[in-house]
Amino acid sequence: MKISKLLLKPLVFALLLVVFSEASAQKRSPQPTRKAATASATSSAPTFDTLLATDSYKLYVEVHGVGQLIRSNSVSEMLEPVMKLTDSPEEFKTLLKWLNSHADDVMTSRMLVATWPTAKNVPDTLVAIEFDSPEEAAKFKPQLNSLLTKVLPTASPRPSPSTTETENSVEETKPFYLHQIGSLVLITPAQLAMKHLRPARSKLLSDDVSFRVTRSRFSSEQIFIYLNVNGIESEQENRRKQFEEEDKKRVAKEQAKQVAESSPSPEAAAEQEKTAVEEEAGVTPPENQPSTQPAEPDPMTKAVGMLANSFFQGQSKMPDAVGFGVSFENDSFDVRALLIAAPGEKCDPIPFFPNLIAGPAIVPESPSILPADTELFLTLSLDLPQIYAAMSKPQDIYKAPNRTSLVKDTEMKGPFAEIEKGLKIKVKEDLLALLGSEIVVSMPVNFLEDGRLPKPNPQTAPAEEKDQKLKSEPSFVIALSLKDKEGMRALLPRVVDSLGLKGASAFAQTERSGDTELVSYGNMLSYAFIQNFLVFSADPETTKHVVDSYLKHETLSSDVQFKNFTRWQPRQLQGEVYVSPTLMESYKSWANQPTALLSDQTRELLSRLSLVAQPITYSLSSDGLGTLHELHVPKNLVLMAVAGISAESNPSPIIINERLAISVLHTIANSEIQYKSGKGAGSFGTIEQLLDEGFLSKEMMKSQGYKIEVLLVGDKFQVTAVPDEYGKTGKTSYFIDRTNVLRGGDHGGGVATSEDNPIN
């Protein structure tokens, strides 16, 4: 897919953000002191620290180390799939070539990008490049002007409203403007006036406390990003007030119009009076009476739904600002985010989750009880009593206009009321008193993709490997830390009985070994006590696997990968996420499958990536300045994603044909099922019959470069797809039947069968 020239301008500015930021890596000038910054503010030539006012823009990006970064392996490896697998325009290629050849010219420079304007009359985007001297800036400006003239699209000429001079008419169509101010070279998409960018007596951005704290915290990162959340909220509040004022004016205008209208006719007045009398007597016109009453939802289901909704309701306490630091130096791409609250206030640790109230910092104990083969786990320290209090507040009832009579004038009960009634316990007194602060969720990585993540093919795996996977493949697990294990042991049978499993205790099976206890209720539910944790799962085999792994000392805390890749985390945390190398291995396994929809060029690029799969790690903590989020993603996983996205943007003709063939086969299989249950009266249909019934179109059957055939055998059907010209219109042959499982393989142009491997 070609990149439109209309997108070149934002693309160039975005790339300049990364590229020029590199130029300061080797000789980055030191941060000026506050005294120097104050003195500079009075000078005529602004610097990085005196260029912007606090309320000029809401998003600020500062990049360091441009020269080293643009020539680093990280950038070249990410650009390689973009250049090879996408249909990049010539302007983009010209830009990359120029940047590589001119990196030395800006080796001592820093760059900033400011966007999302707050002030009026400022450009939508501002790019500033800092040089060691005005002379170097003046020397570089014509070179940059020559490049931007080549790579940025020029708008269509339009006449100037004020003059007919050619020079001014051309000025109106320029896609960019270059300004040299002292040692700075500025790039803007519109004309710039410094009095608007930094008004007199305005507060400098560098003097803002939140900006200064976050910038200092991430001073060693290659990229620093600052988001003024307070400015965003103020803008949204102003828009809300403006909308309310406009809405009030509209309503007042409509009411005045209704009053000005003539009074109803005598007939209409008589009809209104008759209707009022009937309503007062309790008579409702037959057409307004519902024919059926909707079924009342199950009370417990309704209560759980209310509880889920309550978790996201409430007023979020947003941070005053957020600072980000991004680094590409290691084997992983590291992103850090520091949330800064307004002075004297607290913000939510995770924005937009107002009822996720963090508990005290802890040293997580859950890795010592979870199995070593855990694929994904999340642990949080939560203040459960405060969460309970926040979620127990009565919810506001929305009363629609003219429907007040349908709403009871009673407050809605909190979401826990029905749950307490169903479980026959008091959540606060009976349950929360037994629980600690560490809450753990563990699941397979396939849950991230709704089960669509490619898995190793079970038909191609050895028998012993299949058996091993059946025994050890993890499933969904929840673990709760306990203050009172004995109290929880006594409470759980009551809860199980209240869930509708009356007499469940009679067939409960209990296994004890050391300090562990496993209780199973058939194939419906099981839980275990391990150390000071309650572990439970709907799958008894999964719970048993957790217990067995603990008894064998095969826990996550003993896993080499887990220990090595979480060493960077602070000892005490409020939250932790670990995604095992299984995620990366699954994608690598998929990329190596012959039937994967990948071009030879994409497959070759992916094959050159490191064979070592690594985990994804994350931590939530407080470092004294604010709430700190930190994420480490393996570099090779990012490169795989870049290669995949690049390949998707410009697929080869063969890949397009194969995708179309797969889509047609699934459409035919679904159409056969519908035809059998309808017009077919229990029999599947031929291609002609499906065409006649409108399930398929002739264009669909002719436009995919494949020969599609349907074979009916008794009460079964088989659909096959073979390339019209092997190696030119496609390579993989496909097969599908009433099981709706797509199968296929490279048969050199031959027909696929039910013996072929399934295709994810």
Q: Give the Cα separation of 442 and 382 in Å (integer).
A: 17
pLDDT of 557 higher than 90? yes
pLDDT-based confidence at residue 256 (cuts at 50, 70, 90): confident
Q: Give the Cα separation of 533 and 370 in Å (integer).
A: 10
- The answer to whether 546 and 520 have CB atoms below 8 angstroms apart is no
| DSSP for 102-129, written as a single string | TGGGGTT--EEEEEEE-STTS-SEEEEE
Torsion of CA 601, 603, 607, 613, to 10 degrees: 140
Mapped onto helix, strand or coil, the DSSP state of residue 238 is helix
Sequence-separated (6 or more) residues with CB below 8 Å from residue 160: 168, 169, 171, 172
End-to-end Cα separation, the chain, in angstroms: 25
For the beta carbon of residue 345, count every other beta carbon within 10 angstroms. Answer: 10
Q: What is the reported pLDDT for 720?
A: 95
Tens digits of per-residue pLDDT, 429-452?
999 999 999 999 999 988 776 443
Give burial (CB, 10 Å; 0-12/13-18/19+) of 505. Answer: middle
Tens digits of per-residue pLDDT, 323-381?
999 998 778 999 999 999 988 888 999 888 888 899 999 999 999 999 999 999 999 99
Q: Which amino acid does the sequence have at 312?
A: F
Q: Give the Cα separation of 165 and 159 in Å (integer).
A: 9
Q: Give the Cα separation of 54 and 199 in Å (integer).
A: 10
Structure tokens given for 410: 């009673």
For the beta carbon of residue 44, count every other beta carbon within 10 angstroms. Answer: 7
For the beta carbon of residue 522, count every other beta carbon within 10 angstroms. Answer: 12
Q: What is the reported pLDDT for 83?
A: 86
- Among the residue ranges 143-157, 514-528, 537-551, the one predicted with the least confidence is 143-157
Per the prediction, the chain carries an average pLDDT of 81
Q: Give the Cα separation of 106 and 654 in Å (integer).
A: 44
Q: Give the Cα separation of 370 and 377 in Å (integer).
A: 9
Taking CA atoms, 457 is separated from 465, 604, 711, 760, in Å, by 11, 22, 27, 9
Structure tokens given for 703: 């436009």
Q: What is the reported pLDDT for 363?
A: 96
Q: Give the Cα separation of 628 and 575 in Å (integer).
A: 10
- The answer to whether 675 and 693 have CB atoms below 8 angstroms apart is yes
pLDDT of 475 higher than 80? no
Q: Give the Cα separation of 324 and 454 in Å (integer).
A: 33
Taking CA atoms, 449 is separated from 70, 154, 445, 453, 732, in Å, by 34, 43, 8, 6, 25
Phi, psi torsion values for 202, nearest 5 degrees? -85, 155
Q: Give the Cα separation of 227 and 319 in Å (integer).
A: 10
Q: Give the Cα separation of 755 and 760 in Å (integer).
A: 15
pLDDT-based confidence at residue 298 (cuts at 50, 70, 90): low
Q: What is the reported pLDDT for 34?
A: 41
- The answer to whether 136 and 185 have CB atoms below 8 angstroms apart is no
Give burial (CB, 10 Å; 0-12/13-18/19+) of 56. Answer: buried
Query: Could you tell me the pTM of the whole model?
Result: 0.80
Q: What is the reported pLDDT for 474?
A: 53
pLDDT of 139 higher than 80? yes
Taking CA atoms, 569 is separated from 385, 518, 591, in Å, by 27, 33, 32
State the greatest distance between any 2 C-alpha atoms of the chain, in Å, as a whole number: 96
Q: What is the reported pLDDT for 594?
A: 78
Q: Give the Cα separation of 341 and 323 in Å (integer).
A: 12
| Higher pLDDT among residues 9 and 98, named by residue | 98
Tens digits of per-residue pLDDT, 176-203?
999 999 999 999 999 888 889 999 889 9
Q: Is the CA virtual torsion 534, 535, 540, 541 positive or negative?
A: negative
Structure tokens given for 458: 């079970």
Give burial (CB, 10 Å; 0-12/13-18/19+) of 656. Answer: middle
> If you search the block for the tokens 């080869």, which residue do you land on?
652
| Higher pLDDT among residues 96 and 119, named by residue | 119
The mean pLDDT of 558-563, rounded to a whole number, is 95
Give domain limits for the chain: 5-161+168-207, 355-398+410-578, 653-745
Q: Which amino acid does the sequence have at 88?
A: S
Q: Give the Cα separation of 91 and 369 in Å (integer).
A: 56
Q: Give the Cα separation of 318 and 346 in Å (integer).
A: 8
pLDDT of 753 higher than 70? yes
The mean pLDDT of 652-670, rounded to a whole number, is 92
pLDDT-based confidence at residue 394 (cuts at 50, 70, 90): low
Tens digits of per-residue pLDDT, 305-326?
666 676 667 788 999 999 999 9
